Each structure stands twice: as structure tokens, then as C-alpha cells.
Amino acid sequence: MTAADPQSVHRAIDAVWRIESPRLIAGLVRAVRDVGLAEDLAQDALIAALETWPASGIPEKPGAWLMTTAKRRAVDHWRHRQLVARKHEAIEHEQADDEAAMPDFERMTEEDIGDDLLRLMFIACHPVLSTEARIALTLRLLGGLTTEEIARAFLVSEPTIAQRIVRAKRMLAEKRVPFEAPDAEGLAERLDSVLEVIYLVFNEGYSATAGEDWLRPALCEDALRLARILAGLAPDESEVQALVALMELQSSRFGARTDTKGEPILLQDQNRALWNQLLIRRGLKALERARQLARMPGPYLLQAGIAACHARATTAGDTDWTRIAMLYEVLGRVTPSPVIELNRAVAVCMAFGPEPALSLVDALLEEPSLQNYHLLPSVRGDFLLRLGRDDEARAEFERAAALTGNRREREFLHARVKACE
């Protein structure tokens, strides 16, 4: 590719990095057996791209370019270790160990990438880490998310997430966690964290918390691909099948969620003829498998049931909102969460009207974790608007617009402010 202006190249590099960094880091971890070192090598490759590509242009295969550059940095790292070893005693012993540990990049193939990503996910979700650290690290390494985006997904501060990631990498190095897929027992104890991570990555692609675009399909595709691989490894796990069903059904709406300019379209306003019927059929089939396997409904099975209610409705008016409200109520008992309660309020509004729904939302106004969550004032503003309380609605939409980090969503909320006027 020919050279372009630096600003457009930097935007392109950012897009390439988000797509390629998980594969790059996963491949490097398998080679160097060190998560922290692998991420450092990947970052070195990114810096090299930022220095080189504005002048030379984006290469035809940017992922391969980044991997080649990272490999060179890895070889340089091992050679440096050998030089340091020669300055100490037991030269022959140290040098032999270093040469044996030198990564064999020649054996790395494209077929390894899928397995590498899955192995890396189970490393990042290892029991030696706290649940919060597992999720944060995996989102960083495999989701390609920034610390700020992860903080938004968790509704916590950015420094908190940064500390979790640093401590997680240090713990993995200290415990010498092996780079391998777990056995059956290890799979069971890490499964909940892995599923949560996959779905958080999917959600960041489905409704981006920050940036220029409301959708980031590549993240959703990566999450869905990893879930399908996991479903193959754990075919008798109801919640794995249910998560696949949930993401298939939600992915079916991609073609209708934005207009030609990339602006968001609300669910009730979407052209359902644009929904992907193949994904809907696959999702409903996976949902049926999950139901047959389930002893009791888990959180992903319940959420997939909600998505199925939308998928089966040929028009917005056909949606069974009463059943959706009931499913959210059960989901809130299985996994209590203020966000689930907020979603239940939306279903209650559609099923029974805005007045009872507003009462549910008002009960969440003092919830600490929702104080900077833009969807709380956005939903409340919608209920107030439906009740004819336009001035109050406008104030809520203005607050929601100030809280969101996504430009498309901010513009959408500003349009709602104008509608109140």
C-alpha cells in the first residue's frame, strides 16, 4: 500500500491492532511462555509499525508484518539474555539453557492461531487469579480492549483495572502457569470466568463503550468464534451452548442496528427483514440444545431466552414483552445485578407502561455502580418522555450524553434532547 497522511495511517494502525493483537500475543505466548514478555514484544511491534507505516504505508498483510517484527524482537531478547549469562559464572550451563529456551518460531503455523487464542484465554482465567483479574487480563490480551474500555465495562476506575492487569501478569509469571489447555477438572473450575470474558468481549463489540463507531463487529466475531470452539470442547455444558445461542441471536441484528451513516437504530425501529435468518436458526437450535442439557436455567440460558423472544417476533409489536419481563425477573434472582434490574424496567415499560417502570428505575438512582452509567439516565429519560414530562426527560438525556464515551451514541442522545424541545 502506498504511503498516506499520518493521521489516516494511525487510524488504520489502531484498527489493525485491535484485530491482530490477540492473535499476535497468543502466538508469542506459546513461543516465549511468558504473558508479560509476549505483550511487551507485541507492543514493540506496534511501536515499530507507528514509526514505519506512516512513511511506507500499511503492508498487504499487517498481521504477518507485526508477527515478523515481534519474532525479531524475541530473538534479540534471547540473544541479550545469552550475553548477560556470559558475564556470570557457569557460562556453559546458562548458555545451554538459553539456547534450549529459544522460541522455535519456524514451527508456528496459521492453524495454531485458534488453539493459541483458546489456550491463552484459559491461562488468563487461571484459578491463581481473582475473578476480576482474570476478566480484565483476558479482555486486554484477547479482546484488544484498552484499559479505559475495560474500566467502562466493569463500571470501575481506570487505575483499578490497570493495577489488576499488572498484578495478574506478575502472578502468572511467579506461579509459572503452563501454556496449555486445562484437563476436565480444570475446565470446570475456569468455565464461568471464560464465559463471562467471552460475553464481555462480545458486548464491547455489540455496543462499543468508546470511540467513533457504535459497533465493532470484529470483536463480536472473535467472541463468537471462541465460544464455538469452547462449545466443541464442552459439548455437554448447557451454559456454553446457551452463550453461543445468545450471541448468534444478537449477532443476527447487526445489519439493522445502524443506518447508512453508522447512526444507531433502536430495536423497535429496526427493519427486521435485515435480520440474519441463518444466525437466528443457528441460535434457536443452540438454545434448544442448552435447554435439553440444563438441570436449572443459568444466566446465559435465560438471556438467550430473552433474545429468542425478539428473534421470533416478526414485528416490534409482536414481541412478547410480558415473557421478557418475567425472564428478567428470574435472571435477577439467579444473578442479582443493577444492570439486569435496569433492563427489566425497560421490559416492564413495554409490557405494562412507563409508570411502573419509572418506579423500578428510581429505585436504582442511588446505586453506586450506576452513578456514571449513561444508560441509567437514558432509560429514565425515555420513561419520562413517554409520561409527557419533557423538561425532566431533556435533563436526563443531557446527562446521559455527557456520560457516554461513544461518539455515535452521544449524537443519538443529543438528538433525543432536541426532540424534547
Phi and psi for 333 in degrees, rounded to 5? -80, -35
| In the chain, % of residues over pLDDT 70 | 87
The segment(s) of the chain belonging to CATH 1.10.10 are 111-209
pTM of the model: 0.71
For 114-142, how does the pLDDT look when each residue is reduced to its tens digit (9 = 90+)?
577 778 888 888 888 988 898 889 888 87
Mean pLDDT of 214-218: 68
**CA dihedral (236, 237, 242, 243) positive or negative:** negative
Closest CA to 155 of 401, 348, 376: 376
Give residues with Cβ within 8 angstroms of 148, minimum separation 6.
158, 210, 405
CATH code for the part of the protein at 111-209 = 1.10.10
Report how far apart, in Å, the C-alpha atoms of 35 and of each of 76, 116, 163, 324 are.
Answer: 17, 12, 16, 42
- Most confident option among 12-16, 25-29, 82-86: 25-29
Report how far apart, in Å, the C-alpha atoms of 379 and of each of 133, 329, 358, 362, 386 are.
Answer: 30, 18, 9, 11, 11
For 246-282, how does the pLDDT look when each residue is reduced to its tens digit (9 = 90+)?
999 999 998 898 888 878 888 889 999 999 999 999 9
Contact status, residue 316 vs residue 267, Cβ threshold 8 Å: yes
Say which residue the cell 440444563 belongs to. Answer: 294
What per-residue confidence (pLDDT) applies to 59? 87
Q: Alpha-carbon distance 156 to 209, whole Å?
A: 13
Q: Alpha-carbon distance 398 to 383, whole Å?
A: 15
For 358-415, how does the pLDDT look when each residue is reduced to its tens digit (9 = 90+)?
999 999 999 999 999 999 999 999 999 999 999 999 999 999 999 988 788 899 899 9
Q: Alpha-carbon distance 173 to 39, whole Å?
A: 13
